[in-house]
Chains A and B, each alone.
Chain A
């Protein structure tokens, strides 16, 4: 497997790609917090926040609908919020039968449901844009600058680095299982659920041992190259004046969005 098979980074030359990763992480988090702070039914503010997102999409050179296309992934979770449609008291909008219950959608419930979905939808898109314009190692480095403990960022960096290796390992295990699971046509291969669960468990155990032993080898290799508990980088990660300007500008814009939402 290629090392960046999982990577969501898109190689482009754009204003957003050139921004310091710290700024991008900060802006994304502020944007998501701002969405969470907007009151239910602040439609004008939601639209302004959406405009902000579309502008960011345009600035990234990825195309105006880039994040929109990938934003569907958060949709299934909306099911969890469906109950607010019926549970908040308000003027009934529509009543229908579902299995054995009479369900009444209220205007207040509808307002809350749609607001939750919009907040989530906008926030997910900004997070998608963040990883599309920032290399993951740079992202981790930015977290380090933002005072996330070094040990945690290094573990994440290692996870990212060895994810591809271990995924290859898993795919080999799964391929081996499949190649030994021949079935007569019309019959299912393998034993009962219990047996299949045991095989899956053995695979997990096998993978654990391989990973454990690999981590030992990696540690020895690191020691032999002079590892003393710190990882170094050649990338200076210095904030330019334009980075400060963008941060200040975005905070001002988001402040205005909040004002719109509360007027």
Chain B
């Protein structure tokens, strides 16, 4: 009946205590702000609205569509929740979803729940809303295509954050975990983007008021654009760089003093490179940027196609 749509739920035991605590701290501070903001905006209405919306995300994660060879596309929902409910409410809703997945289904651990909430709830909502907010006054086609890119990047950002935490905990090797996680999530992210765009386009057609000028969706601060943009840049810049030059990042982490475990930068697989990312750092970053543009273009074309048909 239940399945976890995206392999991002970290179980207990895979993150070190310092990393778990740092993630909890970031999560708790962000949620504290989110609670006070939504309280002001929604008041006592926030409980039924966000509670049912959290159940909606949970249930929507069950909707799948066959892609090929027995795999199927799913929704993670962070970007969608943040776009339709506003960023803070979206974060609370996703937090509830991740918490119930961990508590009730052991999809993700308890000590590492701070990290799971951060990766799947906060980062996805921030980047999803941030990029969407930049164009929320533009035409429908622009809004939808940016929402698609935002949804794709939100999954990639969640995967990147998960990979970084695993690496900093000494559980995985950087040069492998980042290309592996991101590689898997390139396609999962496309599924996320398609479903998010189609769902938003459906809502725009049937209840445009929910995404109109007076909605929570349009009222978010402009500062979100910066937040979303920064996370997007980190994903675009760090993923290819980390894949191409894992030892460099290892050194940085060691200089900061992250490693107290038996981890060293010199792995037996140090010579391992990802075929696609084999050249100098600058070309990796270019590759990342081109990737984003290509995905954006694909989604925009599909958006056009859908619009033309409907």
Interface residues of A (CB under 8 A from B): 5-8, 28-29, 32-33, 35-37, 40, 70, 73-74, 76-77, 80-81, 83-84, 86-89, 101, 103-104, 106, 108, 112, 116-124, 127-128, 131, 136, 139, 149, 151-152, 154-163, 165-167, 169-170, 173-174, 193-194, 196-209, 211-212, 214-215, 218-219, 222, 227-229, 231
Contact = CB atoms under 8 A, between A and B. Distances in A.
A211 B56 contact: yes
Nearest to B59: A166
6 contacts: A36-B111, A74-B11, A127-B102, A162-B55, A166-B59, A211-B55
Name the prevailing secondary structure of the B interface residues. helix
Name the prevailing secondary structure of the A interface residues. helix
* The 5 nearest A-B residue pairs measured at CB: A201-B198, A158-B51, A120-B13, A205-B202, A197-B194
A173 B210 CA distance: 22
A211 B12 contact: no
Interface in B22-59: 31-32, 35, 38-39, 43-56, 58-59
B272 interface: yes
Nearest to A160: B100
Contacts of B11: 74, 77, 120, 123-124
Interface stretch (B61-69, B233-241, B279-287): B61-69
Contacts of B68: 193
Contacts of B264: 88-89
A119 B48 CA distance: 38
Interface of B: 1-2, 7, 9-17, 20, 31-32, 35, 38-39, 43-56, 58-60, 62-68, 73, 75, 80, 84, 92-93, 95-97, 99-100, 102-107, 109-111, 166, 170-173, 176-177, 191, 194-203, 206-207, 210, 262-264, 266-269, 272, 302, 305-306
A177 B128 CA distance: 28
Given A156-B99, A198-B198, 6 more contacts: A28-B110, A83-B172, A83-B177, A193-B65, A197-B65, A215-B52
B262 A169 contact: no
Given A127-B12, A209-B203, A87 B65 contact: no
A158 B52 contact: yes
Given A207-B59, A211-B53, A200 B73 contact: yes
Contacts of A203: 63
Most buried by A among B15, B75, B96: B96
Contacts of A120: 11-14, 109
B176 A124 contact: no
B262 A86 contact: no
A128 B96 CA distance: 19
A62 B300 CA distance: 55
Contacts of A197: 65, 73, 191, 194-195, 198
Nearest to B51: A158
A215 to B, nearest CB: 4
Given A159-B58, A170-B59, A212-B210, A119 B13 contact: yes
Given A119-B13, A131-B103, A139-B103, A201 B52 contact: no
Contacts of A155: 47, 50-51, 54, 92-93, 96
A77 B6 CA distance: 12
A86 B63 contact: no
Contacts of B1: 5-6
B63 to A, nearest CB: 5
B257 to A, nearest CB: 19
A159 B54 contact: yes
Given A106-B268, A154-B51, A197-B191, A124 B17 contact: no
Contacts of A170: 59-60, 62-63
Contact of B100 (A159, A194, A202, A218): A159
